[in-house]
């Protein structure tokens, strides 16, 4: 059995970006034709269900070689990736590389990232970087090439209230939960990011609940007021009144998921499709089992936080609805591309949004694919 299975837990041209390297293009839905077929060589295993969450493991006979890339957490931990407040200490140097001043001072929604390692770094929307004047999350999926100029990095704040202390950021090994991630990756709204942290979820459940949320808005507000007055994401969800519920929930889902994932004999575990009650809401699929194995612990915790913030309903998602999350959407496209580095594509179709991040070098491959049912 492959290691990853056994350790699954452990239209108009709008212009050119400020960097001059990324172009944005809008495209229509294309000519009509037959219904799109599932992408890739993917199939779903039987789901695991616990309380109000169901998770369908996504497996494939093919797993790409992604060893040429480094993740944000790995790069920050090794020191190959440096993240600083924008406009701070503009003459300071990191191994001889200047940190330029792009603006007159620090900015809530922009940091500076330097990749001083030898491999491209993979960034996913919703990944948390901790420190600086406020904790931030990455605004969108992208790849940063080694040796590139210091990058003005778009981010969103998840720590409303603090604007002080250090300049350097460290790996947080945390992915914000889907409601927050959606506001960053799809809605691109700082106000909505803060609101989804405070509420816990932006979903409006239509089915009659059989049990209230285990993490309620009132409880979150009490924790914020008493322990995390700056609304630090990590503090809120590590607090005893909230964290114990999250930890026990994750442990049980993890145990069941491991058992389900072991059913993919001779196949590679690449992702998961997630449902809350009867609503299939989210999926993350990667190019390799190695990438999935790296991201899975923090993805699972993020899915669990979302589940705990939603009421429990008796409905259970159908296999057919989950299979729909493996097909390619047909709708309006927005594309961003940096030649020789990456291509980012967002497709919207009704209430669904799909985001793909394709690496262009050393070999073209889709490193990450997100598909979600929008809640707002």
Helix or strand (DSSP H, E) at 71? strand 70-71
Which tokens belong to 114?
């330097």
Which tokens belong to 193?
């990011």
Burial of 16 (0-12, 13-18, 19+ CB in 10 A): exposed
Cα-Cα end-to-end distance for the chain:
41
Q: Cα–Cα distances in Å, from 291 out to 124, 250, 367?
A: 12, 20, 8
DSSP state at residue 208: P
Sign of CA dihedral 359, 364, 365, 371: positive
**Which residues have C-beta within 8 Å of that of residue 177, sequence separation ≥ 6?**
200, 201, 302, 303, 305, 306, 309
Largest pairwise CA distance in the chain: 60
Q: Cα–Cα distances in Å, from 178 out to 141, 183, 189, 305?
A: 15, 9, 14, 9
Burial 338-353 (b: 16+ CB within 10 A, else e): beebbbbbbbbeeebb
Q: What does pTM read for this prediction?
A: 0.82
DSSP state at residue 120: -
Q: Cα–Cα distances in Å, from 373 out to 143, 265, 280, 362?
A: 25, 30, 7, 32
pLDDT in tens, the chain (376 residues): 444 443 443 433 333 333 334 443 434 444 444 444 556 689 999 999 999 999 999 999 999 999 999 999 999 999 999 999 887 554 344 444 444 444 445 577 899 999 999 999 999 999 998 888 888 899 999 999 998 899 999 999 887 666 666 667 888 888 988 998 999 999 888 888 888 877 777 776 666 566 767 666 666 656 555 565 555 666 666 665 565 578 889 999 999 999 988 866 789 999 999 999 999 999 999 999 999 999 999 999 999 989 888 887 778 999 999 999 999 999 999 999 999 999 999 999 999 999 999 999 999 999 999 999 998 7
Q: Which residues pair with 54 in a beta bridge?
A: 49, 275
């Amino acid at each position: 059995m492959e290691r990853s299975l056994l350790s699954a837990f452990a239209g108009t041209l709008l212009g050119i970006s400020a960097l001059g390297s990324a172009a944005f293009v809008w495209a229509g839905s294309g000519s009509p034709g037959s219904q799109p077929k599932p992408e890739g060589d993917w199939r779903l295993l039987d789901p695991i269900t616990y309380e109000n969450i169901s998770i369908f493991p996504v497996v494939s006979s093919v797993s790409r070689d992604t060893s040429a890339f480094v993740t944000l957490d790995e790069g920050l931990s090794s020191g190959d990736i440096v993240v600083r407040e924008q406009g701070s200490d503009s003459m300071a140097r990191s191994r001889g590389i200047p940190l330029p001043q792009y603006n007159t001072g620090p900015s809530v929604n922009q940091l500076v990232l330097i990749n001083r390692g030898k491999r491209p770094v993979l960034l996913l929307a919703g990944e948390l970087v901790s420190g600086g004047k406020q904790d931030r999350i990455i605004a969108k999926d992208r790849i940063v090439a080694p040796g590139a100029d210091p990058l003005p990095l778009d981010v969103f704040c998840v720590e409303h209230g603090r604007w002080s202390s250090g300049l350097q950021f460290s790996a947080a090994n945390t992915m914000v939960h889907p409601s927050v991630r959606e506001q960053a990756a799809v809605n691109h709204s700082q106000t909505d990011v803060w609101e989804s942290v405070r509420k816990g979820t932006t979903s409006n459940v239509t089915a009659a609940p059989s049990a209230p949320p285990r993490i309620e808005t009132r409880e979150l507000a009490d924790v914020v007021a008493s322990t995390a007055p700056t609304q630090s994401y990590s503090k809120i969800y590590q607090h005893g009144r909230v964290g114990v519920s999250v930890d026990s929930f994750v442990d049980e889902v993890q145990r069941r998921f491991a058992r389900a994932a072991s059913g993919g004999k001779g196949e590679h575990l690449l992702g998961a499709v997630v449902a809350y009650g009867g609503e299939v809401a989210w999926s993350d699929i990667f190019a390799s089992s190695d990438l999935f194995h790296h991201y899975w612990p923090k993805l699972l915790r993020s899915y669990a936080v979302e589940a705990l913030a939603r009421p429990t309903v008796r409905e259970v998602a159908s296999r057919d609805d989950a299979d729909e999350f493996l097909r390619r959407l047909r709708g309006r496209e927005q594309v961003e591309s940096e030649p020789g580095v990456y291509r980012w594509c967002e497709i919207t179709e009704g209430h669904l949004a799909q985001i793909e991040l394709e690496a262009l070098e050393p070999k073209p491959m889709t490193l990450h694919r997100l598909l979600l049912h929008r809640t707002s």
